[in-house]
Amino acid sequence: MPISLDRLKIPDEFVLTQEDVMEEVERYFIQNGWSVQLEAAAGGHDLVAEKEVWTAYIKCKGSRGKRQQEGMVYDNTQLRGNAGDQIEKLIRVQGEAENPSFFIMANPGLDRMKWVVSKLETGLDKLDIIRMWIYPDHTIKWDIPAHLVHLARTLQMEKN
């Protein structure tokens, strides 16, 4: 359910739609030498990025819907639901993907969203799901399972 930013105990620092997140993810990967395509298949991942023999499957979510009224954002229940949807879609893709592949959930780097995802961190690491945090100033931050960090840096996914 949408909620007014004014009703949040601590208002979100910024607001990004799913489309905003997708644009930033695409921009970032292209700048780092990956080719990126939008996935048309409804209900699956949103973007596929390729570099060398590697494929990254990316599921994006925002903090408000594209058609929602200005000043409205997703409540915490919706944020949890969005995270669950991302995880489910990425696990499905893992079953179909050819190796070698990365699986990324991309979200606004909001404290509320990071808190929701932090509760799942250990399981996400075991599932090899990388977390990509998007900020409106084009900053990208990462939470990468420890065993994937070197590889991600080698492919210029995450820079030192």
CB 160 within 8 A of CB 153: yes
Over the stretch 83-136, which tens digit does the pLDDT of each residue have? 999 999 999 999 989 879 999 999 999 999 999 999 999 999 999 999 999 999
3-state secondary structure of 130: strand
DSSP 22: H
Structure-block tokens of residue 116: 């929701």
Q: What domains lie within the chain, and their CATH numbers?
A: 2-154 (3.40.1350)
In this prediction the pTM is 0.92
